[in-house]
Amino acid sequence: MRASNILGIETSCDETGVAVYEPGHGVRAQALYSQVELHAPFGGVVPELASRDHIARLTPMVRRVVAEAGLQLADLDAVAYTAGPGLVGALMVGGALAGGLAYGLGIPAIPVHHMEAHLLAVMLEEERPHFPFLALLVSGGHTQLVHVEAVGRYRTIGETLDDAAGEAFDKVARMLGLPYPGGPALASLAEAGDANAFDFPRPMKNRGLDFSFSGLKTAVRLAVGGDGRAPREGRLSDALRADVAASFQAAVVETLSTKCMRGLQAAGLERLVVAGGVGANRLLRERLRSLARAAGVRVYYPRPALCTDNGAMVAYTGWCRRAQAESEPRIIARPRWPLDELAPVS
């Protein structure tokens, strides 16, 4: 297929992302809307509200981004959309608009795997890795180590056995009475704390390549007391809350970085890509930079704006999978979709 201008649509959870990608030119225009204020009163994402908000915002965003790219809808050559994993209702919204656009314009629709898009987001940077490399995917409910041989050739060599790192950040943030979204709020609070104040466990740190964060989360709950949903009234000072946050963050970062270095050694690789929302964590980047320098390893990150969910990574991944575009558009929505099931790209 001719693939000059690809529209990318991201609606897997609580962010509406739209972008236009042109090979050789890069991202021509993009827009992102976060639903943080919508879900904050509930302390987490409400799937029905997320879907309704995507419906309200997606079409105007598509029109605006296409116009900002200097194009008209008729100039699009394909529409890529996140088909999973994610919230099924939210995925259906993006899939429905992508399928309708593709059908109406007579162009292909390209279903995109959300985690593959995160993994490939680094390719939108000027400094990008050569294949093969190891990828640490830390986004939402996912924490995985993936041996990446080429686009579509993935082998998961480590993954979480319970809570993902991002989920643990959010749950501990709630224990500390921090606002939603918890991860960034906890990282900010940790800046004022002592990372050595609490000796929290590093679950499975010295065993294999899989992750486990439920035991760490339980240790924090026991430290703060109460029922785990909020600190006991009057028992935790601001200074103590900061110490808990810093100690927890240090435990997660040490676990993630140790597993990355072990995975690189086991796979015989010298390049590491860190992608997903937790990949923007400053302490994690500093720790990996230090370890990588000592081991002669290069670490690559997407810019922080590309660590969160966004349309640019979907558009780029759609371009990579243009040969697998659907000539007859249909809506694909897969709430669960193992990365290893993806077909390789020739």
Report the C-alpha gap between 9 and 317 in whole angstroms. Answer: 11
31 and 98, same domain (yes or no): yes
262 and 289, same domain (yes or no): yes
162 and 269, same domain (yes or no): yes
Residue-wise pLDDT tens digits, 111-154 = 999 999 999 999 999 999 999 999 999 987 899 999 999 999 99
171 and 283, same domain (yes or no): yes
116 and 252, same domain (yes or no): no
24 and 144, same domain (yes or no): no
187 and 250, same domain (yes or no): yes
Residue-wise pLDDT tens digits, 251-291 = 999 999 999 999 999 999 999 999 999 999 999 999 999 99
Q: pTM higher than 0.85, yes or no?
A: yes
145 and 265, same domain (yes or no): yes
Report the C-alpha gap between 57 and 16 in whole angstroms. Answer: 8
Domain count, the chain: 2
Residue 36 included in any domain: yes
188 and 254, same domain (yes or no): yes
| pLDDT tens track, the chain, 346 positions | 556 899 999 999 999 999 999 999 999 999 999 999 999 999 899 999 999 999 999 999 999 999 999 999 999 999 999 999 999 999 999 999 999 999 999 999 999 999 999 999 999 999 999 999 999 999 878 999 999 999 999 999 999 999 999 999 999 999 999 998 999 999 999 999 999 999 999 988 888 999 999 999 999 999 988 544 444 545 688 999 999 999 999 999 999 999 999 999 999 999 999 999 999 999 999 999 999 999 999 999 999 999 999 999 999 999 999 987 877 778 899 999 999 999 999 7
Residue 210 included in any domain: yes
177 and 270, same domain (yes or no): yes
Residue 170: φ, ψ to 5° = -65, -40
CATH number at residue 279: 3.30.420.40
Print the domain residue range for 157: 131-301
Residue 233 included in any domain: yes
